[in-house]
Structure 1
């Protein structure tokens, strides 16, 4: 089905299952199809929704850069819930989708039952912030000049993607094949409009400290530029847990689908049981051992 955003963009939406809703938001290198292992698993007891972000066919591919931004990414997620008549959902996002999930919690916390923030952090490290913005623009240029089919062969072998290839060559090949079908225009616009312009988590500290939505951060231990931002989110968001996947890169939900599903399922179960709380104030990080 398609839903229409408030700025008249058509978004392709798929859903399955019944129960408490879960909205899955995909990464830059993926699309709505990348959540298949999660839809197959969680639809047994949840209403699962995924969608192709703007710029990702069969959703519309706007040609104006101003039609792409971090704010619009969150507004699109809210539009999907509105279009399906869903008041609140568990929000699960990977990478670019993880950034959208963080901003969803900041912009529309009343619509979120929980936030699962996976593989999010590229561009947040302050010493690499300008480098990231520059390399994002270079990636955009490459998609435009080479086309998706050719550039996918390079992008899919990034430093935090080869772990997936080593563990599961067939799964990685499916990921790379999907990447090769991306709209070159949509990919370049997304890189320039969303990735290269989004704020660092470290610039959002006041909002993150005030965000009360139950949250789970997930990161691979070889996804180097997400590790420290993930720890920062854990320390800053009041009701936040952290899971680190060993010997794992960026594409968490596909590289380690069973572990990903298990961790998210346990998190959602605790949230729905009212058992996922803010950190106990007695767990003072300044204390090493209690002496009195």
Structure 2
């Protein structure tokens, strides 16, 4: 199993294929398995890199202060790219992993060709009362993560009864969840600038969302409108994670976007 020592920890990673480097970043509740359909599809067309963030999957422990987690994970990614001799890459990130992706693109714009954000939207904007209520629900949700995973499998199966590929991957991720480190990462989002730095990005962005959760879709649309260089794409009959609910549609969408952006040609020309 390939691991690389970076920034004081060990990261689990896999590389497949050759050509245009595409790095997939999972969210804070899963691992590199979240992008299995994409890794298989794009490994025939590009150089796919999937890895487990520090504190997730098979990578090292979250041995940094909470306020430093996002910045540290950005440093981890930079050193991983250095170790794999990848100068620039397309970054594809899902949900909370998009916070890391955007911070990385802000800190190291020269390392990012394009960015694709899946099921991600700006946080914040709560009233004082709404914020307190949200905090209570969030704390309850965190505590629930310490309950046996088997308690949630039936509801997961019901929720994803139309999307069995997503169900099977999410079920496995639920069983292998690293709860304490998950909560640390969720807390770290409160210390980050959230998406403030993203508004100044000069990197092309594709924002993707499923259409089965109206509230989430509304937030994603608002977020997409704020990026300097963004395209919005909506996947029919999909919810989080939309790339797993409709992997074939997402894969084609991403491939078309990368071709439209001439990303493959840039790699061939060395630019």
TM-score (norm 2): 0.84
Please, which moves more after superposition, 185-194 or 119-128? 119-128
For residue 249 of structure 1, report the CA deviation from its aligned partner.
1.1
176, 179, 183: which is aligned to 1:181?
Answer: 176
Cα distance 1:136–1:104, how it changes in 2: closer, same or farther (>3 A)? Answer: farther
Cα distance 1:155–1:74, how it changes in 2: closer, same or farther (>3 A)? Answer: farther
Matches within 5 A, 1:265-280: 265-272=255-262
**1:121 aligned partner:** 121
**1:172 aligned partner:** 167
- Contact 2:166 2:241 (C-alpha < 8 Å) held by counterparts: no
Please give the secondary structure, in 1, of the residue aligned with 2:123: coil
Cα distance 1:225–1:75, how it changes in 2: closer, same or farther (>3 A)? Answer: farther
Taking the aligned partners of 1:91 and 1:260, their CA distance within structure 2 comes to 15
**1:233 aligned partner:** 223
**1:247 aligned partner:** 237
TM-score (norm 1): 0.79
- Contact 1:216 1:240 (C-alpha < 8 Å) held by counterparts: yes
1:191-225 deviation per Cα after TM superposition (whole angstroms, max 9, x unaligned): 2334x444443xx1xx4443211110001223345
Taking the aligned partners of 1:29 and 1:95, their CA distance within structure 2 comes to 10
Cα distance 1:222–1:57, how it changes in 2: closer, same or farther (>3 A)? Answer: same
Taking the aligned partners of 2:199 and 2:179, their CA distance within structure 1 comes to 37
Cα distance 1:209–1:200, how it changes in 2: closer, same or farther (>3 A)? Answer: closer
Taking the aligned partners of 2:227 and 2:132, their CA distance within structure 1 comes to 25
195, 210, 222: which is aligned to 1:220?
Answer: 210
Could you tell me which runs of 5 or more consecutive residues in structure 1 were left unpaired when the two chains were aligned: 276-292
Please give the secondary structure, in 1, of the residue aligned with 2:145: helix
**1:284 aligned partner:** none
How well do the aligned residues superpose, as a CA RMSD in angstroms?
2.8
Please give the secondary structure, in 1, of the residue aligned with 2:238: coil
1:248-281 deviation per Cα after TM superposition (whole angstroms, max 9, x unaligned): 2111111110111111111111222699xxxxxx
For residue 41 of structure 1, report the CA deviation from its aligned partner.
0.5
Cα distance 1:192–1:79, how it changes in 2: closer, same or farther (>3 A)? Answer: same
Could you tell me which runs of 5 or more consecutive residues in structure 2 were left unpaired when the two chains were aligned: 266-271
1:105-134 deviation per Cα after TM superposition (whole angstroms, max 9, x unaligned): 222211100000110127345355555454
- Contact 2:33 2:169 (C-alpha < 8 Å) held by counterparts: no
For residue 33 of structure 1, report the CA deviation from its aligned partner.
1.2
For residue 72 of structure 1, report the CA deviation from its aligned partner.
2.5
Q: What is the number of equivalent residue pairs in this alignment?
A: 262
For residue 139 of structure 1, report the CA deviation from its aligned partner.
2.9
- Contact 2:99 2:194 (C-alpha < 8 Å) held by counterparts: no
Taking the aligned partners of 1:30 and 1:116, their CA distance within structure 2 comes to 18
Matches within 5 A, 1:63-212: 65-66=65-66, 69-121=69-121, 123-127=123-127, 131-144=133-146, 146-147=147-148, 149-150=149-150, 152-153=152-153, 156=156, 162=159, 165-169=160-164, 171-194=166-189, 196-201=190-195, 204=196, 207-212=197-202
Taking the aligned partners of 2:226 and 2:252, their CA distance within structure 1 comes to 24
